[in-house]
Amino acid sequence: MRRCAGQGARMSETSAKPRVSITYCTGCNWLLRAGWMAQELLQTFGEELGGVTLVPGYGGVYEISVDGTLLWERKRDGGFPEPKEIKRRLRDAIAPEKDLGHSDR
């Protein structure tokens, strides 16, 4: 079995990191959209996050929050976010010094 460096990270280290939740409408079939956004965030912020949770909802809901602070709400913010916008907002909330490369330009 192949092991990754740092695979033995303790649970307490992970639980102390910010956690993102993405609430999506099951009736609108937005699970794939939510899963794709989760993948984008984990790929960009893998070491800075304690996890990304997908939360089933209803009524046209699509919300992204970090530690209970709302980053995006579909009805309030006008539709679905581009990944680079959510990455900027998340970066500003948890790691302001992080360079997002092309997403910052």
Q: Please give the share of the chain, as a percent, with pLDDT higher than 90.
A: 80
**pLDDT tens digits along 59-78:** 999 999 999 999 999 999 99
Q: Residue with structure tokens 């709302």?
A: 70
Number of CB atoms found within 10 A of residue 87's CB: 22
> Is the predicted pLDDT of residue 98 greater than 60, yes or no?
yes
pLDDT at 101: 85
The verdict on domain 16-95 having CATH code 3.40.50.2300 is no
> Is the predicted pLDDT of residue 54 greater than 60, yes or no?
yes
Annotated domain spans of the chain: 16-95
Distance, CA of 41 to CA of 38 (rounded, Å): 5
pLDDT at 65: 98
* pTM score of the predicted model: 0.84
